[in-house]
Structure 1
Amino acid sequence: MSTGLLIQYVVIGLVVLASALYAFRKLAPLLTNRWLAAASIQFNQPNHAAWLRALGRRMQPKQATGSCSDGCSTCGACGPKPPAAAKSDTIPLEFRPYKR
């Protein structure tokens, strides 16, 4: 196996891994936030090296601030809007029993 082919495989593997992580992050955000928080706590121990503690602080997931831009959906204001009220010129359906 040549060096160029090995580099190509490594680059393609990294791209596939990055896209899989991105998709997993988009599809399961609560699970990935829990995993990031657990890893951040493990890395940010006082007996670890400074670079490892800095990595732990950087990996820490963002907390919900309660503003409308963080997407936490705790207040329900960011969710879908309720349907508009029915117009007055519409007639509601009436279901009657079938007569033979």
Structure 2
Amino acid sequence: MSADVQLALQYAAVTLLVAVSGWVVLKKQAPATARRLRIALAVPLVRPGRPAWMRALGRRIAPEPRVGAGCGGCDGCG
């Protein structure tokens, strides 16, 4: 493997780790913002007329529906 390919793989790995770390911090520190972001990403994918794989991905990204008005939807109080 050439040095350029190794460097590109290293950058890709670091980028993936930073993105995952950022998502974990966002979910812990700002869960409402993380929920809104998931909804914003999922809604365009689940629209009618999209391919089945795209709708399935959108359903997977979408957060669980909220159960009560004052909770975050974890369903731990039910």
- Give the TM bin, normalised by the shorter chain: 0.7 to 0.9
Amino acid at match of 1:20: G
The answer as to whether partners of 2:67 and 2:75 remain within 8 angstroms in 1 is no
Which residue pairs with 1:46 in the alignment?
48
Question: Partner of 1:2: helix, strand, or coil?
Answer: helix
TM-score normalised according to structure 1 size? 0.59
Distance (whole Å) between structure 1 residues aligned to residue 45 and residue 66 of structure 2: 22
Q: How does 1:65-76 map to 2 (within 5 A)?
A: 65=67, 70=74
Which residue pairs with 1:60 in the alignment?
62
Unaligned runs of 5+ in 1: 74-100
**Percent of aligned positions that are identical:** 31
Q: How does 1:1-100 map to 2 (within 5 A)?
A: 2-65=4-67, 70=74
Instruction: Report the structure number with the largest CA radius of gyration.
Output: 1
Q: Could you say which structure has the higher helix fraction?
A: 2
